[in-house]
Homo-oligomer: A and B are copies of this chain.
Amino acid sequence: MDFRTQIINASAESYEKFLPHISVDTVVFGFDQGSLRILLLKMNYNKEWFLPGGYVGKEEDTDEAVKRVLYERSGVKDIFLEEFAVFGNPQRSQQSFADYPDTLWNKQRFISIGYYALVNYKHVVPQPDSLSETCQWIDFKDITELNITMDHRKIISKALRTLRERLSYKPIGYNLLPDKFTLSDLQGLYETVLGKKLNRGNFYRKMKNMGILQKLDEQRKGGAHKAPDLYKFNVETYKNILQEGLNTW
C-alpha cells in the first residue's frame, strides 16, 4: 500500500475515532550522557521533523490521549506530563498536504494542546508511526539544523522556556533520571536544562536542604577513579514539593 492510500485510509478512521480540530503535541524531554534530548519523528511524506502527537478520542480524557500517544511512540506508561500552552492560530498548519483532498483529516484546522513530558531516557524505545520513517532522540543542541514542520519549533522552544521557569520553584529529575543516580548525574541534568554551570558544593547543599535525596549504601563501580555514591529520590518529599512549590512573598 502506498503512502497516499495509507494516509487516506487513516483519515477515514480518524473521523470515526477522534474529536475533530483538536490535537495534542508533546515535547518529550530525555536526558543521557550529559545532554538533553527530545523525541522527534520524521515524516515519510515530506521528510520534515515533527513532535510526537495525536488526537483525542471522542470519549477520552485529554491527558489520557497524550499518555496513549506517548505509549505508542516510546513504550512507556505513566509518563510525567504537564500541559503548558495552547497553539490556536488558524493558519498554523495550513501549508501541509497541499496535494491531498480538502476533506483529509490532516488538513483540518487543528488547535493543538502543547504538553511536555519528562521521561527516563533508558526506558524509552522510540517507535515511528506508520507515516514516519524514523522516531528518535535528537540532541537539543542539534535541532536548530533540522527542518521542522509547522510551528513545532515554536512549541519546542516554549516548552523549554516553561521547563526552565518551572525549575526555579519545583524540582526535576525524578522522571528524567534512573532510579539510582549520582550527584553528578543530577547536577549535570540541572546544568543542561538551565544551560549553565553550577557550583558543585552549593548544589550539593541545596539538594540536601530540600530533603528530596536519599543516599544509598551503594556506589557506582567500574568507572575510573573513586566510585561515586548512589542516591535515589525521597518520593514523599519530592511529591510534596511538587504540590506546594517553593514560596516567595
A contacts, CB < 8 Å to B: 19-22, 56, 58-63, 65, 83, 85-86, 88-90, 109, 111, 113, 144, 157, 160-161, 165, 167-169, 194, 196, 198, 245-249
Contacts and interface: CB of A to CB of B under 8 A. Distances in A.
Nearest to A190: B249
Given A157-B248, A249-B157, A249-B194, A88 B111 contact: no
A247 B85 CA distance: 17
A53 B133 CA distance: 42
Contacts of A85: 83
Given A19-B20, A62-B111, 17 more contacts: A22-B22, A22-B111, A56-B111, A61-B88, A61-B89, A62-B88, A83-B86, A86-B113, A111-B113, A157-B248, A160-B249, A161-B246, A167-B249, A168-B169, A168-B248, A168-B249, A194-B249
Given A22-B111, A59-B109, A62-B111, A245 B165 contact: yes
Contacts of A90: 59-61
A161 B247 CA distance: 8
Given A21-B20, A248-B168, A63 B83 contact: no
B88 A56 contact: yes
Contacts of A161: 246-247
Contacts of A198: 249
27 contacts: A19-B20, A19-B109, A19-B111, A20-B20, A20-B21, A21-B21, A56-B111, A58-B109, A59-B90, A59-B109, A61-B89, A62-B86, A63-B88, A65-B88, A83-B85, A83-B86, A88-B113, A111-B113, A144-B249, A157-B249, A160-B249, A161-B246, A165-B169, A168-B169, A168-B249, A169-B248, A196-B249
A236 to B, nearest CB: 22
Contacts of A21: 19-22
A249 B127 CA distance: 28
Contacts of A63: 88
Contacts of A56: 88, 111
Contacts of A157: 248-249
